Structure 1
Amino acid sequence: MDIIFHTAAMKHVVVCEDAPFEAIKTNVLGTNNVIESCIKNKVKKMILISTDKAVNPASVMGTTKLLAEKLVGAIATSTKLKENSVTEFGIVRFGNVLYSRGSVLEIWNKQLRERREITITDENMTRFFMATSDCVELIFHATELAKEGEIFILKMPSVRMGDLAKAFSEIKGLPKENIKKIGIRKGEKKHEELLLEDDDNITLENEGLFVKFPSYTNEERIKEVKAEGFKESSPTKLSSNNQKLLSVEEIKNTLLKEKRLLEGE
């Protein structure tokens, strides 16, 4: 087998808060099982799908995904593994994916079908957002370049949840009073991060991506990635509230690009 994309996960924050050991079994032990199976069966490459919630985690879900990232990074840079295995490893770190299962847009479509108000936790909450096509592109880039557990991160925009709700409502022709604020749920953060300023690990970047290296990556590997058009990135905190925030009109244009999903089909 050539490539394994490890997408299986307990990914809903509140569900993981209610069942933390199930999240550990799926997101941590499950990832270790996949790693061991890839090595045993001489899979050429394994790509772990991770999340921005793994950065400075405040939830069970984020903590388990951080541990999954650490597992991949540790095994990928293991000298013993390099001597005895053909498998290469990489990680992609997603933001929130538009219209993915359990996403706010899917929830809002369901609420509309049931003729209910659409609910919002906090209008000033911010989130990184990716279109489905962005996810596919990021995975392909990671598959081409990954070798020793590097984390690939798309340079993506952010949105205020209040602006996202307004854009969605305007497209659907809903009145402002159709939006109901319910407050932040357990395990949620007001803002998310993709990178931390005090992270000692080396990070490279090009026009569209960051590449974060695990601890103990050798200098030759870093040079290899630089040769692909990447340069050293200055340490910076990449947070959803200190990046470009899309305007309501920009959000509407983004949503309308995937109209079939917008309509809840």
Structure 2
Amino acid sequence: MAAVSLPLAIWLRFWIVDIEWSPLEAWLPTLIFAGVAGVVFQYTGLYRGIWHFASLRDMLAILRGSLLSLLIFLPLLFVFTRLADYPRSALVMQFFILMLLLAGPRILYRSWKDGSLATVLWRGDDKRVPVVLIGSSLAADTFIREMERGPASYRVVGIIDDSAGRHGRDMRGIRVLGRLADLPAIVNNMREIDRPRRAIIADDRLDGRVIRELVETASQFGISVARLPRMTEFRKESEAGQVQSIDVEDLLGRPQRVLDRSAVTQLIAGRRVLVTGAGGTIGSELVRQVAALQPAAIVLFEQSEHALYQIDMELAERMPELPRVAVLGDVRDADAVETVFAAQRPDIVLHAAAYKHVPLVEANAGEGLLTNVRGTHVVAQACQRHNVAVMVMISTDKAVNPTNVMGATKRIAEMVCQSLDLERVTSQRNSTQYVTVRFGNVLGSSGSVVPLFQRQLASGGPLTVTHPDVTRFFMTTREAVELILQAAAMPNDVVHAEGKIFVLDMGEPVRIQDLARQMIRLTGRQPDKDVKIVFTGLRPGEKLYEEVLHSAETTMPTPQEGVMLAAPRIIDRAELERAIATLIHHAERRDTAAVVAGIAALVPEFEHAPNGQGSSSETAAPVNRPAA
């Protein structure tokens, strides 16, 4: 290219003024410049670049090489020719011609290999799906670049961004068309060939409310909504072009709370941690988050062989260096629990094992009591005997004004831990701190309505909802577990939590009917038109509204946003032990009526509603109940 640039520049200069000139007249300068450029280009590393990956760095190398070559060539040309018969302007023209000859082929080659050149040449025959990106973030830039490389499924026709300063500007040649609120007008003003068939979220900061509004608006135009992987979710750049479906967590997600991660790390790091129910939804997420905090060892205690195998294999693959023990056992078995505690000597116990399916526990009241009450009692007593530093018991909002056996048994489990924690303050015999954490439904858990709706949608519907007005509190598994660990890590002398219960802020309750409609829209279909919603009636023990606080419970804030302290009714320890022993006796004899009666005696607020009716949830206005 260097050998061509000088004769071409001189010829172009003479051609402009209509003077005949032959390139042979410049053989000596051409030879000199070719030699100089060859040495300079080798020195500056210009030949080392791979054309397929030509970048701005390569363009700068071409600029440096061209400029340095001319600066060395000019003195040499003066020595040999005194610049006679060579127009000075041709030398300036040569610089730009040389830049064009060196950079042009590289840019064209990369454009061809990446597919962007083909996109321009055959735009009218483009079979890719037109999409709009929501957010002009780094992820959006990466996605556009990926779509310009080789075969791609999507063609970006515009960007939607709420940042007013970016409206009308371009990102890699793609125009920022306006705000999210302008989406209907933007779509209507587009040509038919450019109308998006999908909206792809490229901004991690969008909260659940904004995403819900986007899904509803987009569905009116037949536009499906998806999202790019979050920056923390992909490990290589090519994964940035992999579009993911919007899930329920995205719809209900809330802004990330600021957490005191140093306190949680200090609680877990270097300690032996035992997790009961380690294979369940909450238990397995506890295991994942605890494993990342560098514990000395982690003990997985689980009744289900399959669930235990799954979480054990996951840990083996993700953290093979972490010492772990997988124990197949039942928390109701006092001998098995004692054996594990004696052998493993845990410092921290996270008790997530429980029966949580309301209708199943309602139909099997004795079994529910044995697991939820006796199991908690067995684990709590073992913690006391073996001087465990902290035991965390996972409770539920169904323990507040319970109308079903499951909720009532979890309230008794709360009372067990409360009484033992108070004993720690009044007696020197117990050094274990008992932490009880109460929250609502976890998205995607085995007992959640979300997997049910997903199965029903996969089979074409209809979606079944028990009642038009039924609402629930929801929280993502990750957020729930983070706050559980945060509550456990709070210094007791700061929050004075003796005998109290940590209550997680669940946000606003969600109407299940609205959740069903949102999930239908996520599939690109319309509720009531494409997929029906059928109301089946409340199930045994089911309430219309869940509550996270009893009307008599006093609450106080904690240093951690999203976590409150509640002080429920306390029962005498000796009285509680006698009542539990009687309940276990009735449960072992399969005397369901006696079990339910005993629960009602121990939990005065328990109003059993075996047919799904309960005065506390339908006729009264409970604490935290949404306005009608």
TM-score normalised by L of structure 2 = 0.34
Provide the C-alpha distance between the structure 2 equivalents of 1:42 and 1:81, rounded to a whole number of angstroms: 16
Q: Cα deviation per residue 1:74-106 (whole Å; 9 max; x = unaligned)? A: 111026874012211011101111111121001
Contact 2:358 2:405 in 1 (8 A): yes
Instruction: Rate the CA distance shift 1:214–1:57 in 2: closer, same or farther, 3 A.
Output: closer
The structure with the greater share of residues assigned to helix is 2
Provide the C-alpha distance between the structure 1 equivalents of 2:625 and 2:452, rounded to a whole number of angstroms: 21
Residue aligning to 1:36: 381
Number of residue pairs matched by the alignment: 222
Q: Cα deviation per residue 1:3-40 (whole Å; 9 max; x = unaligned)? A: 11110111000001100000110000111001011111
Instruction: Judge which range, 117-126 or 174-183, deviates more.
Output: 174-183
Residue aligning to 2:173: none
Residues 1:212 and 2:212 aligned together: no
The percent identity for this pair of structures is: 39
Shift of 1:240: 4.0
Residue aligning to 1:48: 393
Contact 2:373 2:409 in 1 (8 A): yes
Instruction: Rate the CA distance shift 1:89–1:242 in 2: closer, same or farther, 3 A.
Output: farther
Higher relative contact order (CA closer than 8 Å, sequence separation 6+): 1
Shift of 1:62: 0.5
Contact 2:400 2:548 in 1 (8 A): yes
Provide the C-alpha distance between the structure 1 equivalents of 2:563 and 2:425, rounded to a whole number of angstroms: 30
Give the 5 Å matches for 1:58-207.
58-78=403-423, 82-145=427-490, 148-156=498-506, 157-177=508-528, 178=531, 179-199=533-553, 202-206=554-558, 207=561
Q: Cα deviation per residue 1:92-140 (whole Å; 9 max; x = unaligned)? A: 1011111111210011112233444221111211111111222122111
Secondary structure, counterpart of 1:238 in structure 2: coil
Residue aligning to 2:626: 241
Residue aligning to 1:232: none
Larger radius of gyration: 2
Contact 1:128 1:240 in 2 (8 A): no
Instruction: Judge which range, 72-81 or 84-93, deviates more.
Output: 72-81
User: Which amino acid is the alignment partner of residue 150 of structure 1?
Assistant: K
Structure 1 gap ranges (5+) = 217-235, 244-265
The structure with the greater share of residues assigned to strand is 1
Shift of 1:215: 5.4
Provide the C-alpha distance between the structure 1 equivalents of 2:555 and 2:423, rounded to a whole number of angstroms: 20
Secondary structure, counterpart of 1:83 in structure 2: coil
Instruction: Rate the CA distance shift 1:210–1:111 in 2: closer, same or farther, 3 A.
Output: same
Provide the C-alpha distance between the structure 1 equivalents of 2:398 and 2:474, rounded to a whole number of angstroms: 13
Secondary structure, counterpart of 1:188 in structure 2: coil
TM-score normalised by L of structure 1 = 0.77
Structure 2 gap ranges (5+) = 1-345, 571-620
Structure 1 vs Structure 2 CA RMSD: 2.2
Residues 1:22 and 2:367 aligned together: yes
Provide the C-alpha distance between the structure 2 equivalents of 1:92 and 1:134, rounded to a whole number of angstroms: 13
